[in-house]
Amino acid sequence: MRLTDRPADKEILRLEIVRKKKKSQDYYKHLANTLDYKQVKEMTYLAIQHKNLEAIMGMLNSNVYAATDALDCEEGVKFFSEKSEESGAFVPEVYFFVRRPISEKYKYIFRRLARQSIIRMSLKITSKGIKGHFKQTVPRYEIGMPEFDLDETIQHNPLKIYEKTLNYQDIFGIKRQRKKRKIVMILDTSGSMYGRLLLNAALTTSVLAYNMDKEDYSIVLFNSTAMVLKKIDEKKTVKDIIDEILDSEAVGFTNIHVGLEKGLKELNKIRKNPQNQFGILISDGNYNRGDNPIDLAKKFPLLHVIGIPAENDADRGIETCRQIAKAGKGKFYAVGDYKEIPRALIELLSQS
């Protein structure tokens, strides 16, 4: 579109922002694409005044620096604080837009809002009853135990049963104890997993942290290289974990092998009960750096894989994920959308 068309587009955008009938983010972005820095900033500020969230998101998608310049004020922070109370699902996405250009003064507030939103969403996804438990028979039933072992009671007290002199001390009870697991989650944060998938990384790690709060778990992030976000023998708050994810970068190539290598090293720190140890790889499977990860997957006691389709060559990536799970003797979950990853994780944890 020609430069001379811009004033007309600006007036159309102005009218669309102030009218009560909201349009989509893409519609506002399309109109804003013809505007210069100053105009986008002006229209973003207008959208704040008229509490038009879709228009603000469209402006951020069009010119993130100009839109952030308008949001970098008390009024911008107040608007998003109020909106996050209504439905804060969009706040993490806003934070990923503004976290670099916005001033330090307000970055902290936007990050706090994003973290609170992620925690609320993860608590909705998380169910208290999904943690693994195993049954243990004990020689004395105690009031409050959920059940008793009839076979063991009959075997050890046949005479008392016949004489009807059985009491609590003679009944074999069953305790349900949590099966303490050791888990390492290996999460792809490469350029191919960029955008909303990185937002989902924060949500996924939060879900894991809440479900493993009394157990041992590690979180490994990888792209061209790998870093341990949380060591398996380390205590770290959910708040700190989410903040580090929110400030991480989805960059670089995809080296699944180095991610698995770091994850296996974390699992090997704890030698006891190998049957309760496993890894969970979350990736699109399209590795373009490092060795073939399939051979390394065989070294895990158990390795599950959650595979999400890549933007390019999705079939190849999903097939690689399937082969890694097979080599790791684990389960394979193919999800059609990044939003499905936390629930796939929940399902894995409930069955392990």
Report which of 250, 219, 242 is spatially closest to residue 116, judged by C-alpha positions.
242
Amino acid 247: pLDDT: 84
Same domain, 168 and 248: no
Same domain, 263 and 334: yes
Same domain, 40 and 138: no
Amino acid 109: pLDDT: 93
Percent of the chain topping pLDDT 90: 45
Per-residue model confidence as pLDDT tens digits over 276-296: 899 999 998 988 888 999 999
Question: Is pLDDT of 249 > 90?
Answer: no
Task: Give the CATH number of the domain where residue 296 resides.
Answer: 3.40.50.410
Q: Residue 228: which domain range?
A: 182-351
Same domain, 142 and 162: yes
Per-residue model confidence as pLDDT tens digits over 145-165: 556 666 666 667 676 665 666
Decide if 198 contacts 234 (C-beta within 8 A).
no
Same domain, 254 and 198: yes
Same domain, 234 and 173: no
Mean pLDDT of 198-223: 87
Mean pLDDT of 78-94: 84
Amino acid 136: pLDDT: 54
Same domain, 145 and 227: no
DSSP state of 192: G
Same domain, 104 and 189: no
For the chain, what is the domain count? 3
Same domain, 66 and 154: no
Amino acid 102: pLDDT: 94
Same domain, 174 and 188: no
Same domain, 340 and 276: yes
Q: Between residues 141 and 217, which one has the greater pLDDT?
A: 217
- List CB contacts of 231: < 8 A, sequence separation 6 or more: 218, 266, 269
Question: Locate tokens 């503004």: which residue?
Answer: 98
Same domain, 299 and 341: yes
Q: Between residues 220 and 201, which one has the greater pLDDT?
A: 220
